[in-house]
Amino acid sequence: MSSSPDLSAPRDAPADGPGQRTEPCQPNQAQIAEARERLAAVCPVLRAAHAATPDFAWRVRPGGFAGLTRMIVEQQVSVASAAAIWRRVQAGLGEVAPEAILARDDDALRGLGLSRPKVRYVRGLAEAVVSGALDFDRLPALSDAEATKALTALKGVGAWTAETFLMFCLGRLDMFPSADIALQEAHRAASGAQVRPSSAELAERALAWRPYRSTAAHLLWAYYGVLRGRRSASPDGVTAAE
């Protein structure tokens, strides 16, 4: 491999724009391995993470209204708490749909375990979908930047939530949620630095990893799991405050 490889998109990756698949894509192990090798060739920090990290599975989650609602529910709480609250939301609503949210008053939604801010956020999301301000069916046709802008226009949906939603739920291959604390800490450890980079600093460094930034994120999450004595780590519950 050349010392300055061409970081072109992985073979068989969906295009970013009109005609992109509406279902999340999941790169196979050969594609992930190729992306890892290319990233390791251009970045010493990712080279160190790559050398210490075994194979990992690509994370895919359900999308749409329910998928984004779940990500809002999971913000700023532990994995266990998020799972418990989400079960209560599902049981209480029957179907996690805009109409089900709007049919209940704030007290009823708080009774499902949602905080006052999250009640406002999920209600605002439901209103945006019903009004047509947000169209989940249209998101796959938007560029990464356009889709991120459409999502972050919603109250309670910050950059981390938008970027992870696009990565996990729409299969976007060049996203990097630099506000993620685990990614910052993994980068700090792999670089040997004493202080982890800020979100802005990490986002700037990640520009060199295009168009494989989603693979870089998965690699650093997996490396974070190695550091904590696990084979891999889920990004769930390791987020920035939004």
Write the pLDDT tens digit of every residue in 199-224: 999 999 999 999 999 999 999 999 99
| Alpha-carbon span 145 to 133, nearest angstrom | 17
Q: What is the pTM of this model?
A: 0.82
Q: What is the pLDDT of residues 127-182, one digit of tens each?
A: 999 999 999 999 999 999 999 999 999 999 999 999 999 999 999 999 999 999 99
**For residue 24, what pLDDT band results from cuts at 50, 70 and 90?**
low
Domain(s) of CATH 1.10.1670.40: residues in the chain: 29-59+173-227
Q: Is the pLDDT of residue 7 over 60?
A: no
Tell me how many degrees the CA angle 144-224-162 measures, rounded to the nearest 5. 20
Least confidently predicted of 13-22, 34-43, 59-68, 216-225: 13-22
Higher pLDDT, 88 or 24: 88
Task: Supply the mean pLDDT for the chain.
Answer: 87
Amino acid symbol at 242: E
Q: Is the pLDDT of residue 6 over 70?
A: no
Q: Half-sphere exposure (CA, 13 Å, Cβ side) for 49? A: 31
| Alpha-carbon span 16 to 142, nearest angstrom | 8
Domain(s) of CATH 1.10.340.30: residues in the chain: 64-152
Mean pLDDT computed over 92-99 = 96
Q: Which fold has domain 64-152?
A: Endonuclease III; domain 1 (1.10.340)
CB atoms within 10 A of CB 14: 18
| Alpha-carbon span 216 to 235, nearest angstrom | 13
- Domain 29-59+173-227 - what CATH class? mainly alpha
Tokens encoding 84: 């418990």
- Contact 219/53 with Cβ under 8 angstroms? yes
Residue 171: CB partners within 8 Å, gap ≥ 6?
A: 14, 21, 23, 24, 25, 26, 60
